[in-house]
Amino acid sequence: MSSFREPFAIGIDIGATKIASVLLSDNGEVIKSSQVLTLAEEGPQVVLDKVADQILALAQQCPGAIAGVGIGSPGKVDSRRGVVYNAVNLGWTEVNLTEEITRRLHQGLPVWIQKDANLSALGEYYFGACQGVQDFVYLGIGSGLGAGIISSGRLITGSDWCAADVGHLSVDPEGPRCVCGGRGCAETVASGPGLVRVTQHMLTHSHRATSLVNEANLTAEDILAAAHNGDTLALQALAEVGRVLGIIMSACTVILNPSRFVVGGGLGLAGFDYILPGAREELMKRTIPESRSLLEILPSRVESPAIGAACLVWYAHAGEPAKS
């Protein structure tokens, strides 16, 4: 017997490689899910058509009333006006996401949009590692370093939708060039491409014995596999990711006094055990005990970013998860 409850919410995550979508029940059960390739090079109109098609297909299969649609996007997301700016990975300079999708649906379904990492935080808040936690920071380590902040039960978006942009806090102003144009941003180390760059640098400059070979096609997966086998250079590179993550956690800790960090993203989850000790050590060096007396660091538990997107519908309606 199924235990799902009405109403339902539809969540869509527009990623650089795929568009993930779910139909979620009121109590967090995934009723349906699907994925299609984004193929952003085909242009925004094609991507927007695909997003609308996904929503309509899920709406058609929905066994009850739908409360609305939540959509996550990379870039700077003005959720009040419904506009996405400078989503570099999608090649979008300015897209009226809410309007474009609403126009394609012809159904009067309310649509909300939000920055992707903020929705990962909401997903953890409603149905993941932070249920009942009012002050926490989600950190996603993947193709970049993203974050979402919940403080006193509210999502923090900032004066111009740029809050929690921790990936572009420089930890070394003389460091390597970042995609943003700055130097030594946290994500030049704490990200999949960052880990590869750090490892390649170590392979060139250190004489440690290692199974890794300095090739142009080295991947974060290769480095994780080597770390699983006890490769000391791979472990050292992952510790460097942890060290930089710890600097970011320290900054968040002194400003927000969170009781939890949730680490997600492809590398954040797969490399959690290797990254965590370095992060914790850095946090201990840089913060006072009072600011972290309640602090725990956990891996994320929400499997699809589309689930967090669906939670935006509940957040828009209620502001906070209902007390069960």
Binding mask 129-168 for Zn ion (x = CB under 5 A): ---------------------------------------x
Among 72, 58, 67, CA closest to 23: 58
Of 27 and 86, CB closest to Zn ion: 86
Among 85, 104, 87, 105, CA closest to 15: 87
In Å, the largest CA–CA distance within the chain is 63
**Helix H or strand E segment including 254:** helix 232-256
List Cα–Cα distances, 309 to 23, 92, 300, in angstroms.
10, 20, 15
Place of tokens 């906070």: 320
Place of tokens 């870039």: 75
Of the candidate residues 59, 163, 180, 251, the single one contacting Zn ion (CB under 5 A): 180
Q: Does 189 bind Zn ion (CB under 5 A)?
A: no
- Look up residue 67 and give its two tokens: 């409360």
Whether the CB-CB separation of 123 and 311 falls below 8 Å is answered with yes
Of 174 and 290, CB closest to Zn ion: 174
DSSP assignment letter at 201: H
Of 100 and 187, CB closest to Zn ion: 187
Q: How far is the CB of 75 from Zn ion (least distance, A)?
A: 14
- Number of residues in contact with Zn ion under rule CB under 5 A: 5
Q: How far is the CB of 233 from Zn ion (least distance, A)?
A: 26
Q: Does 190 bind Zn ion (CB under 5 A)?
A: no
Q: Does 176 bind Zn ion (CB under 5 A)?
A: no
Q: Parallel, antiparallel, or unpaired: how do β-strands 145-151 and 136-141 relate?
A: antiparallel
Q: Does 178 bind Zn ion (CB under 5 A)?
A: yes
Of 146 and 278, CB closest to Zn ion: 146
Q: How far is the CB of 169 from Zn ion (least distance, A)?
A: 8
Of the candidate residues 182, 193, 266, 299, the single one contacting Zn ion (CB under 5 A): 182
Q: Does 76 bind Zn ion (CB under 5 A)?
A: no
Place of tokens 């017997």: 1
Give the footprint of Zn ion on this chain (CB under 5 A).
Answer: 168, 178, 180, 182, 185
